[in-house]
Amino acid sequence: METFDIVIIGGGPAGLAAAITAGKSNQSVLLIEREARLGGILKQCIHDGFGLIRYQEKLSGPEYAALEIEALRNTSVKVKTLSFVTDIEQEEIGFSITLVTRNGIEKLVTHELILATGCRERTAKQVAIHGTNPGGVLTAGSAQYYMNILGQMPTRKCVILGSGDIGLIMARRITLEGGTVIGVYELKNQPSGLTRNLIQCLDDFNIPLYLSTTITRVFGADRLIAVEVSRVDELMQPIKGSEQIIECDALILSVGLIPENEMAEMIDVPLNPETKGPFVDQTFETLLPHVYSCGNSLYVSDVADFVSETGEIAARSAMDSKIGARNLIEIIHNSTIASSIPSHLDLNKPLNHVIIYFRSRECKNKQVLSLIIDGRAVFSKKFKQVRPPEMERLLLDLSKYEISKSLELRLEDES
Ligand SMILES: Cc1cc2nc3c(=O)[nH]c(=O)nc-3n(C[C@H](O)[C@H](O)[C@H](O)COP(=O)(O)OP(=O)(O)OC[C@H]3O[C@@H](n4cnc5c(N)ncnc54)[C@H](O)[C@@H]3O)c2cc1C
């Protein structure tokens, strides 16, 4: 059985960045991808806006992926595409990985394992909609795949449920290709997508966004012919009498992304119910030593550049793994913050370059984020506005502080 120092599962931007970083060491590194081509979801994101941080340039998804793949070519990393990881087991020698490849089943062993398996979309089964089960109900990512990879038009006249970024991007794409988007219907009273996507994808194309509204029923036998739209109350329950029937041939769902962590579950990596990704320390090592997580399988990010950054951090951690015993303390936060990573700080690892990502629970103006160490406020940063769709990033030098017991993030109104 072939043995590697580091194996990375997933060849999207997180896995590519991890592979490029690890490939600069003299350790043996393998990158495994189930699809024929590297790049992950970037392959189908043909709009621009990627790379502003990493390349100081506005790139499309495929252009961003191409630069990463080019950088990978200059390393000694071994790449296996069309290879699906179906099983991982922890053994004394490390982790044994089973792959289904074109040559049949293969097994290999690694000392360090980086999980970069991305995220998946919530589907129609995960939102309560009554009615039949017709064709034409699809996720925004599937619509994106049909249009941008297969060159097929999945709809002529559709409605979009949910105002997540992929749905907004697809509203524009469908319109540009001659289709009609009747409207985007959002259950919450606030849009879920980034402000720039609301402006560039909806406002610029006169596509209406209806807040506090949802789809309650679908109609059609083989193919969708109409949907029922209802207003919702403060408890997000449909208001009787507000129903409206809208004729359309497709319902496109953009109702959230969930980190993909089947691989982590196979080896009992503890998962954080708040983020749905693994609990990790500041180097993105999970609570199961020698296993690291990055990209959207760790924390769903709205910017690919941050996804790449997490891959680099995880790889550096895997490269220096033999540091010794861990001394973990939890990083907690108040309820104004919906989620944050890392969940832990390892006091035995470097503390001078700690990156914290967080999302607020609600849209709020004039907020201040404080960092409380062992009960003392040591740092604060003001935010003009925080919005749940926009992930915030903080770079901290925590080596300046004595930390023994606790670290808390507190987001509060500016006094
Ligand atoms: C459907 C969809 C559409 C999106 N569209 C946009 C967009 O338009 N704009 C935008 O900014 N962001 C978009 N995103 C967000 C996007 O996911 C991130 O920006 C970025 O691609 C995440 O990088 P990643 O490396 O974490 O995951 P991914 O890019 O998803 O890469 C994960 C890789 O892991 C591989 N993999 C998973 N499991 C296995 C296994 N068992 N064995 C082998 N390989 C495996 C997958 O094949 C995939 O290539 C989209 C996300 C989704 C799910």
Single-letter code of the amino acid located at 46: I
Q: Locate the ligand 1 atom nearest the alpha carbon of residue 16 and give its number.
A: 25
d(CA 276, CA 306) in angstroms, rounded, equals 18
Q: Is the CB of 166 under 6 A from ligand 1?
A: yes
Q: Is the CB of 15 under 6 A from ligand 1?
A: yes
Q: Please give the distance, rounded to the nearest whole angstrom, from the Cα atom of residue 27 to the centre of ligand 1.
A: 26
Three-class DSSP category at 252:
strand
Q: Is the CB of 238 under 6 A from ligand 1?
A: no
Answering whether pTM is above 0.85, one says yes
Q: Is the CB of 34 under 6 A from ligand 1?
A: yes
R_g of the chain computed on alpha carbons: 22
Mean pLDDT of the region 303-315: 96
> What pLDDT is stored for residue 126 in this prediction?
66
pLDDT in tens, 262-307: 999 999 999 999 999 999 999 999 999 999 999 999 999 978 999 9
Residues in the chain: 415
> Considering the chain, what is the average pLDDT of its residues?
95
Token pair for residue 357? 């990502």
Which residue puts its alpha carbon closest to atom 50 of ligand 1?
Answer: 41
> What pLDDT is stored for residue 199 in this prediction?
96
What percent of the chain shows pLDDT beyond 90?
91
Q: Is the CB of 32 under 6 A from ligand 1?
A: yes
Q: Is the CB of 35 under 6 A from ligand 1?
A: yes
Token pair for residue 292? 């690291």
Of the two residues 207 and 256, the one the predictor is more confident about is 207
| Contact predicate 137/250, CB 8 Å | yes
d(CA 383, CA 14) in angstroms, rounded, equals 28
| Contact predicate 318/22, CB 8 Å | yes
Mean pLDDT of the region 43-53: 94
Nearest CA to 61 among 122, 151, 145, 142?
Answer: 145
User: Is it the case that residue 122 has pLDDT exceeding 90?
Assistant: no
> What pLDDT is stored for residue 361 in this prediction?
95
With bands split at pLDDT 50, 70 and 90, how would you rate the model's confidence at 102? Answer: very high
pLDDT in tens, 216-273: 999 999 999 999 999 999 999 999 999 999 999 999 999 999 999 999 999 999 999 9
What percent of the chain shows pLDDT beyond 70?
99
> What pLDDT is stored for residue 323 in this prediction?
60
pLDDT in tens, 324-343: 789 999 999 999 999 999 99
Return the axis-axis angle of helices 165-176 and 140-148, rounded to nearest 10°: 40
Mean pLDDT of the region 177-203: 95
Burial-class residue 106 by CB neighbours within 10 Å (0-12, 13-18, 19+). middle
Q: Write down all domains in the chain, each with its CATH number in brackets.
A: 1-121+257-322 (3.50.50.60), 123-255 (3.50.50.60), 326-415 (2.60.40)
Three-class DSSP category at 218:
strand
With bands split at pLDDT 50, 70 and 90, how would you rate the model's confidence at 321? Answer: confident
User: Is it the case that residue 124 has pLDDT exceeding 80?
Assistant: no
With bands split at pLDDT 50, 70 and 90, how would you rate the model's confidence at 400? Answer: very high
Q: Is the CB of 14 under 6 A from ligand 1?
A: yes
pLDDT in tens, 147-185: 999 999 999 999 999 999 999 999 999 999 999 999 999
Nearest CA to 43 among 65, 76, 27?
Answer: 65
User: Is it the case that residue 67 has pLDDT exceeding 70?
Assistant: yes
> Which one of 33, 41, 296 would you pick to mutate in the ligand 1 pocket, going by the greatest count of ligand atoms within 8 A of its CB?
41
